[in-house]
Structure 1
Amino acid sequence: MFSEKKKDPKQDLTKEQNKIAQGTTFKGDIESQGSFRIDGKVEGTIKTPGRIVVGKSGCVEGEVKCHSADFEGKFTGKLIVESQLSLKSSAHIEGEVITDKLSIEPGALFNATCVMKDGVKTLNDEKGRKRKQKKGETA
């Protein structure tokens, strides 16, 4: 009579949150299906299909690959964000950033090279020649 909806176990895992508390230092590589909240210090590589939140006291040095990220703390290294990277006013980012969308609040320090994915599309002009169009530009 009542059908039970089957949950995707992969979806449940990305809802789990790993936490590195203030005063904690972790050195090494971390790979998880869950999201991260970092208020301590991480030196190494973090990979997750979830979200990473770095609080004001948080510091990450190394490489990060994630779906989305919110930074209030510090980051140095290579940051690869599949969707949106949000930098709060207290954020301090240095290194290399690759993302699809970027949001920076006034006051944030952003000293990085940045590549915006899917930012350039190839179009054909009236004569059939190909030209590149930037995101937001009309044809």
Structure 2
Amino acid sequence: MVNSSNVIAKETSIKGDIITQGNIRIEGVVNGTLSSKTKIVIGESARLVGNIDTKEAEIAGNVEGEVKCSDILFLKKTAVINGNIHTKKLVIENGAVFNGECKMTENAAGQVKGETNTVSLKNEKSKPEKGKEAISG
């Protein structure tokens, strides 16, 4: 198992894909895909324009792109995600912002194994189902 850790500092800006076998923490700006076999941490000051593909992720900053976690995804209260999520487990702190669709499956890489839970978070008024009318008094 790889025990390396990589840090992209707050003052750093990278254009391009980052692929690592170990953990990586982003505090700066990255325009590109992040891929890790272990864990990715997006710090509060970080901004990522691109996709994430990892086993585990903790997001406290801003992400514009698709997030794929084969195990667990943590969204901290300062997180802002604009994109779809594919994960096995999801933990969201009060205050986190998520705009997109979430698919929770045993295999977050997209192959459905067993039951799939799809959550679409949108702020819309409830509408009566077809064939059922609203009851008024």
Structure-1 residue corresponding to 2:77: 89
Note the C-alpha offset of 1:118.
2.7
Match of 2:57 among 58, 61, 69: 69
Runs of 4+ displaced beyond 4 Å: 119-122
Partner Cα separation in structure 2 for residue 112 and residue 17 of structure 1: 30
Q: What code does the residue aligned with 1:80 have?
A: K
Residues 1-139 of structure 1 mapped to structure 2, 5 A cutoff:
11=1, 13=2, 15-118=3-106
Task: Report the structure, 1 or 2, having the larger strand content.
Answer: 1
In structure 2, the CA distance between the partners of 1:121 and 1:51, relative to structure 1 (3 Å rule), is: closer
Partner Cα separation in structure 2 for residue 121 and residue 16 of structure 1: 31
Q: What code does the residue aligned with 1:83 have?
A: D
Note the C-alpha offset of 1:20.
0.4
Structure-2 residue corresponding to 1:125: none
Partner Cα separation in structure 2 for residue 102 and residue 65 of structure 1: 15
Q: What code does the residue aligned with 1:31 have?
A: I
In structure 2, the CA distance between the partners of 1:133 and 1:69, relative to structure 1 (3 Å rule), is: closer
In structure 2, the CA distance between the partners of 1:133 and 1:87, relative to structure 1 (3 Å rule), is: closer
Note the C-alpha offset of 1:121.
7.0
CA RMSD, 1 decimal? 1.9
Note the C-alpha offset of 1:93.
0.6
Gaps of at least 5 residues in structure 2 are 118-137
In structure 2, the CA distance between the partners of 1:116 and 1:24, relative to structure 1 (3 Å rule), is: same
Task: Report the structure, 1 or 2, having the larger helix content.
Answer: 1
Larger gyration radius, structure 1 or structure 2: 1
Among all aligned residue pairs of Structure 1 and Structure 2, give the percentage whose two residues are the same amino acid: 38
State TM-score, norm by structure 1: 0.75
Equivalent position SS for 2:51: strand
Note the C-alpha offset of 1:62.
0.6
